[in-house]
Every structure is written in C-alpha cells, then in structure tokens.
Chains A and B, each alone.
Chain A
Amino acid sequence: MAVERFPVEASHILMFARAIGDSNLIYSDDSHAAGTEVGSIIAPPTFAQASAQFDPDYFLRPKDGQKWFGSGATASGTLSKEPKEQSQESDDEKSGSSAGGLHAEQHFTYHRHLKPGDVLSAETKPGESWEKESKRAGVLKFSESITEYRDQNGELVVTARSVGVVTEKVIEQ
C-alpha cells in the first residue's frame, strides 16, 4: 500500500469517532478542544487505519467498472456459479476461497497525534512471515507489514505494524 495523500479532515474524524462509539468532544468540538491540554481536535488512536480511503488500489473497496466480490444478483460478483453449485465443492476448496485473510494483530507507535489539517503520506513495506499450526484453524500463515505515516513536513507521525493471517479452515468459534 502506498498512499500519496491522506488529508486528515474534521468531518472524517467525527464519522470515525461515531463509528467506534466514542462521543469524546476532543474528536468533534473545536472550542472544547481548544481548552484542553492537546489544544485542538485530534483523531482517535486507530484513525490512521482509515488511510485505506485514500489508497487508490485498496482491494476492500468496490471500484467503478470492476467486479466486486460481495453479493449482488449472486452471492459473489466474482463467481459465475450459483451458490447451490458452490456448496458442492469439496470442503478443501471451500475453505481455500472462504477462510481468506483475517487481521491478526495491529500496533501503532505514536510520534504525535493526528489532527485536522494534517496531510499524510503512507508507505508500506513487507515485514516477516511465519507459519503456525492450530487445532482450530489448521495451518496459519502470518505476514507482517510496516506502514510509516509522515506529515506534510516529512515528519514521521505514526508507525503501524499490521499482521495478517490466512487460515486453512474457517474459524467459527
């Protein structure tokens, strides 16, 4: 992932704070924020993840002119087969397509907190990858990526480390 321009905007922070159920005025009210230690609206600690909105190639967002893998007329826009036929696939095939990627870990190191008016860029580099055997989910394949968020002055503001996992079987708890 490379994001060239991630403008941090007050309305986006407000929507994000609402989505995580956080009514703290530091995320929405300028005059309240002005009287606090931080002095202005800031973004919630996990907001950097919303840079996905500004990644032109982000694969978990439907894009104009491209087939989306979620349901429309059929259960998946990228499968031509009807769902009934799919269920006849072997369990192996099914888990292969279904288990897909899950988010295993997320870490943020804050050099400073984001605020409206910041214009960030983000560069992601692959980290380590490893495998683990799990009774519940079969072979787990982990892979790490490191994203550095820099502000309009080129200063490093947030470092994110993300670990994704691809499971052999669906985890149903």
Chain B
Amino acid sequence: MGLSAEGLKVGDSYSELVVEDLTRTQIVQYAGASGDYNPVHSDEKFVTEVAGYPTVFAHGMLTMGMTGRMLTNYVGDGRLTYYGVRFVNQVWPGDTLTARAEVAAVREEDGETLVDLTITTTNQDEKFVLTGNATARVD
C-alpha cells in the first residue's frame, strides 16, 4: 500500500530512528551482503596505520540502505521511482542515525501521481551524514 495523495501536502514529514549505536558487526554484515570488502570498513589495523583514519567507518551505501528503510516504510513497497543521495559526513561505529523525509511536491506525470521527497539523515550530534531526494508513486 502506498501513500494517499489526498491530504498529502508540502512540508509533511516522516522520520525513523534507523540505527542506534551502530556496531562494527553490522558494518561487517553489510560488507558481506554487498560484496564491498574495502578494509577501511572492517580492518582496524589497515584503516588506522595505512589509511590514516581514527577507526573503521560505515559504507556510505549502508547509510543509504538504512535510510531506504525509512523511505519504503513511508511510501510503501515497490513505490519508489527515484532515490538519490550525497554522503556528506562519515558514519562511525557507535553512531545513532535518524532518517527523515519531507514532502517537497505532489505532482502529476504521465497519468501518475508522484510525491517528491527531500531526505536527510542525521547523527546523534544533529550533523547531516546523508542528504538526498526521492520520488514515489502515490495513490
């Protein structure tokens, strides 16, 4: 079931806590599922001694995936026609992320009603880690 265009207005928003205290294990889990084994995400020795970061950090795509859960919970399964993001800050183990979508427009295109959403995901310090947009079909 999708969103109903009726009553949907610009400025409406929906948010979800998408991860609390992100674990290194979840980052490893994402590496395994996605196939992206870049050692900066799981290999403490490499990331600190060679890459020069304070510790391992999450794949941008993990943050996009977790943010996608908020989106599909809001607009319904199979409703997205576009989902695009920028990774604006790194996500570290221990981070707690909240993803939010805000209605930017409700419009008609080729006989379908679409909602355009502005997306932000913030960490526990209210800092943006991801910003983006999505479009979904609504009823």
Take A110-B81, A161-B84 as given contacts and tell me if A100 and B51 are in contact as well, using a CB distance cutoff of 8 Å. Answer: yes
Q: Is the CB of B77 within 8 A of A19?
A: no
Q: Is the CB of A107 within 8 A of B82?
A: yes
Least distance between A172 CB and chain B CB atoms (Å):
6
Least distance between A62 CB and chain B CB atoms (Å):
6
Which residues of A in the span 72-125 have a Cβ within 8 Å of any Cβ on B?
75-76, 79, 83, 86-87, 94-95, 97-100, 102-110, 113
Verify if A52 is at the interface (C-beta below 8 Å from B).
yes
Number of chain A residues whose Cβ lies closer than 8 Å to a Cβ of chain B: 56
Chain B interface secondary structure, helix, strand, loop or mixed?
Answer: mixed
Q: Is the CB of B39 within 8 A of A173?
A: no
Q: Is the CB of A97 within 8 A of B50?
A: yes
Q: Is the CB of B81 within 8 A of A19?
A: no
Q: What B residues does A62 contact at CB under 8 A?
A: 37
Least distance between B61 CB and chain A CB atoms (Å):
5
Q: Is the CB of A24 within 8 A of B72?
A: yes
CA separation between A125 and B1, bound complex, in Å? Answer: 36
Give B residues with C-beta under 8 Å from A.
1-2, 18-19, 26, 29-30, 32-40, 42-43, 45-46, 49-54, 59-62, 64-66, 68-69, 71-73, 76-78, 80-87, 89-90
A/B interface sample: 24 pairs, CB < 8 A:
A15-B32, A15-B33, A18-B29, A20-B62, A20-B65, A20-B66, A21-B18, A22-B72, A24-B69, A26-B77, A37-B76, A37-B78, A42-B77, A42-B78, A46-B61, A60-B37, A76-B50, A98-B50, A103-B87, A105-B85, A106-B60, A110-B80, A110-B82, A170-B51
Q: A18-B33, A44-B65, A170-B53 are in contact. List 8 more A-B contacts (CB 8 A).
A: A37-B77, A50-B34, A58-B35, A69-B39, A70-B39, A71-B50, A104-B86, A107-B83
